[in-house]
A and B are shown apart, each in its own frame.
Chain A
Amino acid sequence: MYIIDSYSICAQNFFNYLDENQEMEIFEDLIYFAKEPDYMDYIPASLLRRMGKAVRMGIGSGLKLLNTHKDIDGIIIGTAHGGLEDCIKFLNQIVHYEEGLLTPTNFVQSTPNAIAGQLALMNQNHGYNMTHINKGSAFENSIMDAWIQFQNKDINKLLLGSVEENSDYNKNIDFWNGKFKEEKVPSNKILASDTPGTNLGEASIFFILDKKENKNATKIVDFHTSHRLQLEDLEDQIMDFLGKNNISKLDIANVISGRNGDSRLNEYYNTVESIFDNASIYAFKHWIGENPSASAFALYMAHLIAQNTLEIPKYKNAVNKSSDNYILVYNSYDGISHHFYLLK
């Protein structure tokens, strides 16, 4: 599986415009909202008017890629949150109007597969269409889905994306579920934090995946998820993952770490980063925030690094850089499911 193109909408303009003169923005708040482009430029007003934020972001990223890659065979989306803003709007309508006559748009747009459905509609794509919602594994499930579908001789190119919005809905629910820190920590200090909780961010990251071998593309060599991984088993798990692909730790040039300053997970990320002292370490959640599909952003960054598209600031420099080859991604949203990716 090869990443041949990608597009992101996230909290940092740096990644939107791939402009060397952009600086990473520092955030003070608990939630980092996405910098959305002017959608009116390319999404027809007649469709845009109905879209809640999640759908807008998803269509806004996906359509950018579909305008250049019209020949896709299917659309796969991972979204843990779905259309939250529309969900709460409909919910509030139910209460406010006491189950009276209600407008249906919010309901229809709140369904998680509204993103995949509208992309298909706008691209007139009748192909495979799937939406995965399993929280911190939704994106990983969509990657596996892509792998499965590529085994079909009729499927050669897929649009794959993840969308995670933030709204009052999940701010309150996530607050009650202990996702946030008790104290406010700005984004430039969050990774050094050692208290429970983190800051959240919204993002929509899309890829065009191709199954044809392509030396200029970024290859997703392998991916693996380990549930309920204990800290003491983490190193063995990584070594098994590399060994299965006939490579050693010295072949890893870059590591993208999902560390987010949540003390409940810091040790995992410390362990991974210390194993690969021969690699450059990148972190990213201080830039874009945490969300259930953050791995998608890690893959996006991996693609930029592999393609040498942009000079991205490193989190830690390699002690003794040994390779120019592989990129390893390690991320866990909930500390239960741990995700590994190997790219080249």
Chain B
Amino acid sequence: MTNNREETKIALKKHIVEYLNLLDIKAEDITDDEPLFGGRMALDSIDSLELIVLLDREFDVKIENPTEGRKILTSVNSIVDYIYKSKDLV
């Protein structure tokens, strides 16, 4: 995984589109702080489970349970913050 936050954000957005099979949203159109849940993407609880798997497989980062997940998975920014925090990076 890169140490460059911007590159991580780009990679994350691509994975989000792939894992959730978003048909009408391109990776580059996802803004860093738009709400993933309750926003235009209308993600639900099954998607939060998919995102937990995404983080595990692509970034080697664990989220213990869905409740914890909902707090972390609010936006691309919050997820990237969590990734970096988990790896003790800045």
Contact = CB atoms under 8 A, between A and B. Distances in A.
Question: Do A and B interact with each other, yes or no?
Answer: yes
Contacts, number: 29
B49 A45 contact: no
A49 B22 contact: yes
A45 B50 CA distance: 17
B46 A45 contact: no
Contacts of B53: 101-103
Interface residues of B, number: 15
B30 interface: no
Contacts of B56: 101
A4 interface: no
A104 B50 contact: yes
Contact of A46 (B19, B42, B50): B42
Contacts of B41: 46
Interface residues of A, number: 12
Given A101-B53, A103-B53, A108 B46 contact: yes
A104 B23 contact: no
Contacts of B57: 101
Interface in A35-55: 40, 45-46, 48-50
Interface of B: 19-24, 41-42, 46, 49-50, 52-53, 56-57
27 contacts: A40-B24, A45-B22, A45-B23, A45-B24, A46-B41, A46-B42, A48-B23, A49-B21, A49-B22, A49-B23, A50-B21, A50-B46, A101-B52, A101-B53, A101-B56, A101-B57, A102-B53, A103-B19, A103-B49, A103-B50, A103-B53, A104-B46, A104-B49, A104-B50, A105-B46, A105-B50, A108-B46
